[in-house]
Amino acid sequence: MGGEAVSSVDVSAPEPGVDVEAAEREIAGRSLTQIAWSRLRRDRTFIISSIVLIVILLLALLAPLITSLLGVDPYSLDKEAIDEAGGKPVGPWGGASVEHPLGVEWGTGRDILARLLYGLRVSLLIAFSATVLVVVLGTLFGIISGYSRGWVDGFLGRFMDLILAFPFLLIIIALSGSLTQRLTDLGIPEGNASRITYLILVLGIFGWPYLARIVRGEVLSLREREFVESAVSLGASTPRILFREILPNLWAPILVYATLLLPVYVAVEAVLSFLGVGVLPPEPSFGAMLADSVQYFTLIPSYLFIPGTLLVIVVVAFNLLGDSVRDALDPKAAHR
């Protein structure tokens, strides 16, 4: 593995005058991370999907800048762009024009492009935060469960079963009102801030057991490896063994799981907003835009296709990225 790249710099006695430090830097070996990275750099799928995702991330981060440059914003109503009587956008393609490149909303005249970019922000914020929460909780409980075994493992295992057995979509919808209110009482600003926090928390709390199970399985196998026994025989403390010896060996499965979980949460957020649990109007989101588009679909198909297409691009790009990362981190995967 990687032998061809290191054999060429095998200098045991540097020539006098040769920069010893530079030589040593070259001798510095290739870690598994570096090997994975060099594989990724040759993977066209990874390059394309990460470029797409970087563009999407920039669009989301710079949304206020972009919209102000274009002279649009997601909230203000434009009575000029819609028909006074029925609220139908003036012109073809949902009223696409120089002022409103992707058209305007039926009835309000709000700019679709601006709403799309702001919706992207909300979607990615929820998806990223929930994924981070899942990674933190799943890794922590997975390591503890796998390393401790015994009754701790048994208890955590049953607890995870319990969480997984909940019909979580129903619970999210059923409890959204009262729990969002509870978050508001706890000091989180009322309205969308509370609703977004609620979504992140429930998605994270119902999502971690899947990762914890993967991590637990890995830890069960890792803890039997002799390097763990070696650390024990040197007198290492349990936290040191867990976080210095075992955790660095878990990054591959965690990273793969996280990259594959992100698109799921982008889609789930859209579903929940569609069902009315997500952010409230006038704050835009993918799901809300899709929900609105349904009634105008036969008249103005672009309402459905614009957010739909972006959603598909985001989800597919994350999935392809996840696949590439998984292949690159798998030592048994065939070199391509």
Partner 1 sequence: MSDPTATSSQDIVEVDDLRVHFPVRSRGLFPRVIGQVKAVDGVSLRIPSGQTLGLVGESGCGKSTTGRAILRLAPITSGSVRLEGRDVTELTRQQLRPLRREAQMIFQDPFTSLNPRQTVGTIIAAPFRIQGVEPPGGVASAVRELMDRVGLNPEHVNRYPNEFSGGQRQRIGIARAIALRPRLIICDEPVSALDVSIQAQILNLLAGLQDEFGMSYLFIAHDLAVVRHVAQRVAVMYLGRIVESASRDELFSAPLHPYTFALMSAIPVPDPVAQAARERIVLSGDPPSPLDPPPGCAFHTRCFKAQDRCRSDAPALREMGDGHQVACHFPMAEPATDPH
Instruction: Please give the residue ranges that form the binding site for partner 1 (CB under 8 A).
Output: 1-3, 6, 11-12, 23-24, 27-32, 225-227, 229-236, 240, 245, 248-249
Distance in Å, CB of 107 to partner 1, minimum: 57
Residue with token string 């982008």: 266
Token duo for residue 245: 């010896």
8 Å CB contact between 95 and 163: no
Neighbouring CB atoms inside 10 A of 125's CB total 15
3-state secondary structure 162-185: HHHHCCHHHHHHHHHHHHHHHHHH
DSSP states along 86-129:
T-PBSSHHHH--SSSTT-B-TTT--BHHHHHHHHHHHHHHHHHH
Nearer to partner 1, 66 or 231 (CB): 231
8 Å CB contact between 145 and 246: no
Distance in Å, CB of 224 to partner 1, minimum: 8
Distance in Å, CB of 336 to partner 1, minimum: 20
Distance in Å, CB of 209 to partner 1, minimum: 20
Token duo for residue 180: 């969002």
Nearer to partner 1, 202 or 215 (CB): 215
Distance in Å, CB of 244 to partner 1, minimum: 8
8 Å CB contact between 177 and 195: no
> Which amino acid makes up residue 291?
A
Nearer to partner 1, 181 or 221 (CB): 221
Nearer to partner 1, 40 or 112 (CB): 40
Residue with token string 């019909």: 167
Nearer to partner 1, 135 or 266 (CB): 135
Nearer to partner 1, 6 or 55 (CB): 6
Distance in Å, CB of 323 to partner 1, minimum: 23
Instruction: Report d(CA 205, CA 225) in Å as an integer.
Output: 31
